[in-house]
Every structure is written in C-alpha cells, then in structure tokens.
A and B are shown apart, each in its own frame.
Chain A
Amino acid sequence: TQLLEQSPQFLSIQEGENLTVYCNSSSVFSSLQWYRQEPGEGPVLLVTVVTGGEVKKLKRLTFQFGDARKDSSLHITAAQPGDTGLYLCAAFGNEKLTFGTGTRLTIIP
C-alpha cells in the first residue's frame, strides 16, 4: 500500500501570505493529483502532474512534481480566505486512487 504523507497537517496563516504544502512518499508514481475539499463537499481536482520535474500553475497556485516522481509540492501565493479547505494529494496504484493524509488550510482575513 502506498503511503502519501502530507505536511503540514494543519496550517493557519494570514491573508496575503505565501505557503507551501508537501506530499511525500517512498514510492515512485506515474502521476500525482492534487484535490481541494471544502466543508460539506466532495474533493475537486485541481491538477494532475505526470512528468518528473513538471511545474504547473493555476492562477496563484503552483504545483511541482519531484524529479524522481516520489514527491510533490503545492505553493500558494498571496493566500485568500477562499483558499481555505482541505488539500489532498493523491496517486494511482493497483488500479485505485490513494489519498494523502491531507493538509487543512485556514486563511485568516
């Protein structure tokens, strides 16, 4: 079973600050996804990264896939209250999607 460890587990910062969330594993992945889940809702896919070293930008969010395809990071610039939520990395293995341990992010206005 793949284990995806996310850090930090909880993060609470002021609006306007920058932050980085990490997703690490000892396994190599063919691809990795990031989801955001808001209270009372299901996870929503933000991005899929497939190439080692790949960087994808989605407005203020920057996603990076490690060169060895074992880890990934999510960087948010100038965080806004609307960024509040549970951020989950996820990877495919054995025909199923396994989620990381999650990072609960709170942006304080």
Chain B
Amino acid sequence: DTEVTQTPKHLVMGMTNKKSLKCEQHMGHRAMYWYKQKAKKPPELMFVYSYEKLSINESVPSRFSPECPNSSLLNLHLHALQPEDSALYLCASSRGFGGAGETQYFGPGTRLLVL
C-alpha cells in the first residue's frame, strides 16, 4: 500500500470558520509533510514532521496549525484564513526525513477555497 489519503477533497470556508484537513498513511513512514500549491505554481513546503515532532516550519502564519497525533496521521487546522490562502493543500510522507533522494509519496490534495 503506497497510498496517502486526504480528506476532504474539496473545502469551502469563510474567513471566520475553523476547519481541519486530514492526512493518513499506513506505509510505516516516519516523516510527513504539508505543502501548499497555488494555481499554476509548484508545491511549496509548509511543515515537516519527523517521528511525530515538528522539524520544519517554513515561517507559515499561525492561522495554519499542524498536528501529528500519531505516526499515521497528520492534521492541518485552519482558522481565520484569508482569500489568498485558497490553494491545493498536499500531504506527503516518506520513510525517513532529510535524506537526499528519499521518495515522498503525495496524497491527492484538498482544494481549499476561502471566501
């Protein structure tokens, strides 16, 4: 099983809403990632968790709050987002973290629209 699943697939939220994105993998991977991808742009790294600990935060605004409850799950909590936060949010996982050439497996993404 090389699948990373993400829910929901689509999400529309207002600027005052609180919502969460979920990501799950059962490959035994110990590194998990959140990326943001704007239209017609490449993915940009937001957060990295390694062994359930936050290893990298790419200066992401605090209205995005990641959480890694266990080695299989990764959440992204959203609060007071802005319309410019509308994007495709991709989750990925890899066996380890930091190794050049490490394969990252991506989920299908959650397409978020902030009104």
A residues contacting B by CB (< 8 A) are: 29-31, 33, 40-45, 48, 50, 88, 92, 95-102, 104
Contacts and interface: CB of A to CB of B under 8 A. Distances in A.
Contacts of A33: 101
16 contacts: A29-B100, A40-B108, A42-B4, A42-B91, A42-B109, A92-B100, A95-B55, A95-B97, A96-B45, A96-B48, A96-B56, A97-B45, A101-B42, A102-B40, A102-B41, A102-B42
Nearest to A38: B108
Contacts, number: 57
A43 B98 contact: no
A95 B31 CA distance: 12
Contacts of B20: none
B107 interface: yes
A50 B56 contact: no
Interface in B10-64: 40-45, 48, 55-56, 58
A44 B55 CA distance: 24
Given A42-B4, A42-B92, A44-B106, A50 B101 contact: yes
A95 B56 contact: yes
Contacts of B45: 96-98
Interface in B53-96: 55-56, 58, 90-92
Interface string B98-115: 111111111111010000
